[in-house]
C-alpha cells in the first residue's frame, strides 16, 4: 500500500509495498556554511560545514513495484545499489546547509528522476565531527582547527522527510527534526515522592536524588517551509534544542521525569514559536546508592541500576 493509503492487488489479497536502502553514509567537504537566529539558552549561531556528514535511509513506496513481488518482474525496480550511488551524487550537488534541507532535496530528486516512485521517506542521522584543538600560526593561542576534526560519539541530530507526487510534482508532505541519544546526569535538584504505594511497592521516596536520564527529543514545525530549512532565519538547529534542554534541566527542580519533560517542552514551545509540536522519549537510568560517607552525606558512591528501566513519553502541541 502506498503512503496515500492505496493498496496493490495480489490475487485475492492486498499488498503493502516498501523497499529501499539503509545506512548510506557520506562525508561531504565544504558544504554551505550555516547561520541561525540565536536563542538565549545557546551559544550556537551556526557552523562552517567544512565537514557535512550523515547516514541516510531511503524507503520507497509505490504500486508500480507490485509485479516484482508477485511475478518477479524487475523492469520498474530501481536497484537499492543505484539508490546508494544516487545519494552520493545528491550529497555532492546539494547547495544547502542543513540535514533537513538535504533530505528534502534528495527526496525531490528521487521523485523527479524515477517516475515509478510514487512516494518515499528519507531519514538522516548526523555523523558529528567536532573541530579538534590547534595552536594558531604563531603558536600563541589555542583554538579550534579548521581542517582537523574529531569524531563525536555524543548525542546527534536526526531528521525524517516524507514526500509524494502532487500533479506530477514532488511535494514534501511531512517532516520531523530531532536530537537523539542525550545522556544527562543531575547530581542534585530532583526528587520523586508521594507516589502511589501498595503491597508491590519497594521504591523509597526521595526528596533529593541524582537523576540520570537518556533522552530523545523531536519536533515539528507549523510550516513545512521552515521544517526543511528553506527559511534559515526560522530554522531551529538541533544543537540549540540540546542546549535549551540542558538549561531547563539545570534550572528546574523536578518532582518526576514527567514533570521535567513537560517543563522542557513548555520552554521549547515558548522559545520557538515556529514549532507546532515537541515530543520526548525518556528513560530513567538513575543510579543506585552503593556507599555514603560518614562525614559528609553529599559524598556518595553510586552504581548502575538493574537492567530494567522506566520509560516516559510526552507529546506537547501548541
Strand 156-166 to 119-126 pairing: antiparallel
What is the total residue count of the chain? 318
SS3 string, the chain, reads CCCCCCCEEECCEEECCCEEEEEEEEEEECCCCEECCCCCCCCCCEECCCEEEEEEEEEEECHHHHHHHHCCCCCCCCCHHHHHHHHHHHHHHCCCCCHHHHHHHHHHHHHHHCCCCCEEEEEEEECCEEEEEEECCCCCCEEEEEEEEEECCCCEEEEEEEEEEECCEEEEEEEEEEEEEEEEEECCCECECCCCCCCCCCCCCECCCCEEEEEEEEEEECCHHHHCCCCHHHCCCHHHHHHHHHHHHHHCCECCHHHHHHHHHHHHHHHCCCEEEEEEEEEECCCEEEEECCCCCCCEEEECCCCCCEEEEEEEEC
**Set of cell numbers at residue 45:** 549561531
CA distance 165 to 171: 6
Contact between 87 and 58 (Cβ < 8 Å): yes
CA distance 237 to 177: 9
Contact between 34 and 236 (Cβ < 8 Å): no
CA 97 and chain centroid, separation: 16
CA distance 159 to 260: 24
Residues acting as catalytic residues:
21, 80
Amino acid at each position: 500500500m502506498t503512503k496515500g493509503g492505496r493498496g496493490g492487488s495480489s490475487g485475492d489479497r492486498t499488498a503493502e509495498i516498501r523497499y529501499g536502502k539503509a545506512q548510506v553514509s557520506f562525508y561531504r567537504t565544504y558544504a554551505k556554511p550555516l547561520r541561525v537566529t540565536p536563542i538565549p539558552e545557546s551559544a550556537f549561531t551556526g557552523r562552517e560545514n567544512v565537514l557535512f556528514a550523515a547516514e541516510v535511509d531511503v524507503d520507497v513506496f509505490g504500486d508500480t513495484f507490485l509485479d516484482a513481488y508477485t511475478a518477479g518482474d524487475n523492469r520498474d525496480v530501481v536497484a537499492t545499489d543505484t539508490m546508494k550511488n544516487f545519494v552520493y551524487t545528491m550529497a555532492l550537488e546539494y547547495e544547502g546547509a542543513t540535514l533537513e534541507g538535504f533530505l528534502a532535496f534528495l527526496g525531490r530528486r528521487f521523485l523527479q528522476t524515477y517516475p515509478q516512485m510514487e512516494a518515499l521517506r528519507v531519514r538522516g542521522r548526523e555523523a558529528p565531527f567536532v573541530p579538534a584543538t590547534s595552536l594558531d600560526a604563531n603558536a600563541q593561542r589555542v583554538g579550534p582547527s579548521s581542517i582537523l576534526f574529531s569524531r563525536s560519539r555524543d548525542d546527534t541530530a536526526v531528521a525524517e522527510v516524507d514526500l509524494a507526487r502532487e500533479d506530477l510534482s514532488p511535494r514534501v508532505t511531512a517532516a520531523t527534526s530531532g536530537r537523539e541519544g542525550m545522556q544527562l546526569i543531575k547530581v542534585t535538584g530532583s526528587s520523586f515522592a508521594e507516589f502511589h504505594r501498595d503491597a508491590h511497592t519497594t521504591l523509597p521516596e526521595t526528596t533529593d536524588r541524582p537523576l540520570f536520564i537518556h533522552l530523545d527529543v523531536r519536533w515539528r514545525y507549523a510550516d513545512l517551509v521552515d521544517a526543511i530549512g528553506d527559511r534559515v532565519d526560522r530554522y531551529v538547529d538541533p544543537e540549540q534544542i540540546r542546549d535549551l534542554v540542558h538549561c531547563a534541566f539545570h534550572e528546574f527542580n523536578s518532582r518526576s521525569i514527567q514533570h521535567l519533560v513537560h517543563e522542557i517542552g513548555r520552554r521549547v514551545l515558548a522559545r520557538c514559536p515556529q514549532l507546532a509540536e515537541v515530543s520526548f522519549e525518556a528513560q530513567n537510568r538513575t543510579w543506585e546508592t552503593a556507599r555514603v560517607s560518614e562525614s559528609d552525606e553529599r559524598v556518595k558512591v553510586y552504581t548502575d541500576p538493574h537492567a530494567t528501566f522506566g520509560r516516559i513519553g510526552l507529546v506537547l502541541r501548541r
